[in-house]
Structure 1
Amino acid sequence: MTDVVRLEVEAGIGTIRLARPPMNALDIEVQEGIRAAAQEADARRDVAAVIVYGGEKVFAAGADVKQMSTMSYTEMIDRSRALQSAFTAVAEIGKPTVAAVTGYALGGGCELALCCDFRVAGDNAKLGQPEILLGIIPGAGGTQRLSRLVGPAKAKDLIFSGRFVDAAEALSIGLVDEVVGADDVYAAARRRVERYVGGPAYALKAAKEAVDRGLETDLTTGLEIERMLFAGLFATEDREIGMTSFVNDGPGKAQFQGR
């Protein structure tokens, strides 16, 4: 991690906090900080869920265009690979994740939010993929994750036009899952993930993997992925604790041990 990206842990919740004022531009240092913070959050046993947060005023307003404008094709091949890798580290956190979006989440900022399982937006949020206005396309997952989330037609509308959507429209098309007052975004994100603290960590990880990997393949393969993950949980403490508690005490009483 770096000074511009921090992992803060409190009460079982890890917050990956971007701190590159004024707009949290996703330059190389921020990208590497995101990768390191995501990998640490995934590995830490005291982190049950993760929030990605840009602060009270802005989530992330995209890549550093000035930095990008002087890069050659050859340089961008390596740069885009590194950027996708950093964002994939967020997507592959084996725990519930939520993006807490205030202000602008544009370009790479929107793509970063798409890497999370859920998105909570302030009523002042503006989201979009405006890369087309620079003569390029999204390069950190926008063409892929956005279309999987909102459908290909709506994704093409946003990507082809480069237009921004406000929080209300983002909610209506499924780009975000909840809209709250701008001052309540981080608190709302915490409320969304607090339910997972002390939960069945192995089962949550398996559930996330089954859904995410299943979306990338055909139904038959997806069912096989689900079957193997389901069976694998019978070798974990989660299954033993959960089923023993259900038999002895009824549903909803299990006290899981975490990872």
Structure 2
Amino acid sequence: MAVLVGCRVLFHAFRPPMTNLDGVCRLQDVMQHVLVRRTQHARLASNSVMRQYSSDAKSGDDLSVRYLDGDDSGIVVFGINRPKAKNAISKNLVKMMSEAVESVKKNNKVRTVILCSMVPGIFCAGADLKERAKMDQREVGPFVSKARALITELGNLPMPTIAAIDGVALGGGLEMALACDIRIAGTSAKMGLVETKLAIIPGAGGTQRLPRAIGVSLAKELIFSARVMDGTEAKTLGLVNHTVEQNESGDAAYLRALELAREFNPQGPIAIRMAKLAINQGIEVDLTTGLAIEEACYAQVIPTKDRLEGLAAFKEKRPPRYKGE
């Protein structure tokens, strides 16, 4: 009963209209803070620095950040680009991805983020073990914490995120994909949490997100055995939403992810963000609390201009023109 009362207080606290995506972000931050305090989890702080990105990767960059335009305006593509290291997660990659995530987090114009690879046959091979071997033992813990914080922030982005797995995704690479809302894999992709082979455990959310994705028993089997599976098996287990036959250019999963992002783009952006928030927060609590969260999120779409535009477009039999207001 105390939980229900608390959620009703939360709902009433957010009844005043918030008619833009900044309001949605504020609601998300506060709701997340309440639920994190309730479960006594420590929130990881991000020290990311804001920076501007060009539409294409510069030579030598570990990450390409592309803001698509035209009909695809609103879609942002994060492309990991470390061919010599099989896209392994390094200090610099963590830094660049943290900056990229921070830059899109409260950008009202971003509607979908696609995480993919610029390197054929590789999504991300996990931690950069060559760099790790050169670290002092005291450096390992803080680095893993930064990588975990990055993946947590990726999972907390308010807009939909899609992982396009067109190659090998092992260890931390699969953990990054697990933090995304949707995963698409090529049939030839190879995926697995293989840390137990190195006498360690998944340390960037794998022990928590994999069971939530495919169930506890199957997750234990895969982690205990360090098994690597292809895209077809991953689809059978429910690890990925879609499996696509790989093409000659090696980007079949990315192309399918782009198609999916184009399905999201015409929909109301505030509604999508609030739906994501309701699902993500509600799945972690009991049904009664989850319904109260849904009620609070629904209240935020009622006063928006987008909702009125949707009704007008339906009445006039034309496509709606949503602005995120």
TM score, norm. by length of structure 1 = 0.92
| One-letter code aligned to 1:33 | M
Q: CA RMSD in A?
A: 1.9
Matching of residue 170 in structure 1 with residue 234 in structure 2: yes
Equivalent of 2:99, from 33, 36, 61?
36
Asked whether 1:45 is paired with 2:108, we answer yes
Q: 1-side partners of 2:88 and 2:168: how far apart? A: 11
Q: Which residue of 1 aligns with 2:79?
A: 17
Corresponding residue for residue 212 of structure 1: 280
How many Å apart are 1:72 and its aligned residue?
A: 5.5
Alpha-carbon distance between aligned partners in 2 of 1:182 and 1:19, rounded to the nearest angstrom: 20
Q: Of the two, which has the highest radius of gyration?
A: 2
Of 208-217 and 180-189, deviating more is 180-189
SS at 2:83's partner residue? coil
Give the distance between the partners of 1:189 and 1:49, measured in 2 at CA. Answer: 10
**What CA distance in whole angstroms lies between the structure 2 residues aligned with 1:233 and 1:142?**
33
Alpha-carbon distance, 1:71 to partner: 4.4
**1:76 Cα deviation (Å)?**
3.1
Alignment partners' CA distance in 1, 2:132 and 2:284: 30
Q: Which moved more, 1:126-135 or 1:173-182?
A: 173-182
Matches within 5 A, 1:3-152: 3-10=61-68, 11-12=72-73, 13-22=75-84, 23-55=86-118, 56-71=120-135, 74-152=138-216
- Could you say which residue in structure 2 is the equivalent of 1:227? 295
Match of 1:257 in 2: 323
Q: Check the 8 A contact 1:198/1:258 in 2, yes or no.
A: no
Aligned match of 1:161: 225
- Cα deviation for residue 70 of structure 1 reads 4.9
What whole-Å deviation, never above 9, does each CA across 1:102-153 have from its counterpart, x for those lacking one?
1100000000111111111111100000000001000011001111000001
For residues 24-48 of structure 1, give each alpha carbon's deviation from its aligned partner in whole angstroms, at most 9, with x where no partner exists.
0001111121121122233333322
**Do the aligned partners of residues 216 and 70 (structure 1) sit closer, same or farther apart at CA in structure 2, a change above 3 Å counting?**
farther
Partner of 2:121, secondary structure, is: coil
Distance 2:157 2:96 in 1: 15
**Would you say the 8 A contact 1:6–1:37 is kept in 2?**
no
Tell me by how many angstroms 1:198 deviates. 3.4
Take 2:233 and 2:277, find their aligned partners in 1: how far apart are those partners? 29
For structure 1, which segment, 141-150 or 194-203, has the greater mean C-alpha deviation from structure 2 after superposition? 194-203
Task: Measure the CA separation in 2 of the matches of 1:237 and 1:173.
Answer: 41
User: In 2, Cα distance between the equivalents of 1:215 and 1:80?
Assistant: 27
Moved over 2 A (4+): 41-47, 66-77, 243-246, 252-255
Q: 1:125, 1:240 → 2: CA distance?
A: 44
Q: Name whichever of 66-75 and 28-37 sits farther off.
A: 66-75
Tell me the distance in 2 between the aligned counterparts of 1:211 and 1:72: 41
Secondary structure in 2 matching 1:121:
strand
Matched-pair contact (CA < 8 Å) for 1:105–1:128: yes
Aligned twin of 2:35: none
Runs of at least 5 residues in structure 1 that lack an aligned partner in the other structure: none
Structure 2 stretches lacking a partner, 5+ long: 1-50, 52-57
Q: Distance in 1 between matches of 2:179 and 2:279?
A: 14
Q: Distance in 1 between matches of 2:294 and 2:180?
A: 21
- Calculate the TM-score normalised by the size of structure 2: 0.74
Partners of 2:133 and 2:224 in 1: CA distance = 21
Deviates more, 1:121-130 or 1:45-54: 45-54
- Give the aligned length: 257
Q: Which residue of 1 aligns with 2:13?
A: none
